[in-house]
Amino acid sequence: MTFIKQIVGGALVDSLMAPRKLLVGRRTAPPEFAGMWEFPGGKVESGESAQQGLHRELAEELGVEVILGEELAGPTAEGWPLNNKASMRVWLGEIVAGTPKPLEDHDELRWVCLDSNELLELPWIPADLPIVRALMARTGPATSRG
Ligand SMILES: Nc1nc2c([nH]c(=O)n2[C@H]2C[C@H](O)[C@@H](COP(=O)(O)OP(=O)(O)OP(=O)(O)O)O2)c(=O)[nH]1
């Protein structure tokens, strides 16, 4: 059996009830990903659940506390395949305390409209693009946007 590294990512939106904007981060490392945009998050550590890992990573990387909404389910139980060694589970989330700052792993954070070309045109980590498209479909016109 192949061991898959479990990564977790936060699709942090301005409002879980009526999402319009997504918070994205530009990675600083490793070299192959530096300058690319991603969902803040990281590896789940042993002894913690995926959601606990996500809360911890978001606190460490951005200095925020969040409430998590629904999972943006991927094609497998481990979420969205990133490469042959890692998969990422992604949850929608909303910040309830703190102002996000690029404390670790990012050199820029940006709120981007979910229905904008800007979002798709960012140089994402390529494995994230299907996730971004699924998120845009999920938060798109079918959702009440107030
Ligand atoms: N956080 C995050 N990682 C992603 C995304 N897309 C993607 O391919 N990855 C990859 C990059 C890394 O190889 C891996 C996540 O590792 P990481 O370096 O962010 O995790 P971490 O903070 O726990 O790492 P570390 O402390 O062990 O250095 O997943 C994404 O959208 N968000």
Which pLDDT belongs to residue 140? 83
Q: Complex ipTM, two decimals? A: 0.94
Which pLDDT belongs to residue 145? 47
Question: CB of 35 within 8 A of CB of 26?
Answer: yes
Give the position, in ligand 1's atom list, of the atom nearest the Cα of 90: 31
Which pLDDT belongs to residue 3? 84
Which pLDDT belongs to residue 89? 98
Which pLDDT belongs to residue 1? 55
Ligand 1 centroid to 5 CA: how many Å?
Answer: 10
Cβ–ligand 1 distance for 42 under 6 Å, the answer yes
| Global confidence as pTM | 0.94
* Residues of the chain where predicted confidence (pLDDT) is lower than 70: 1-2, 142-146
* CA angle 72–10–100, rounded 5-degree value: 150
d(CA 146, CA 137): 17
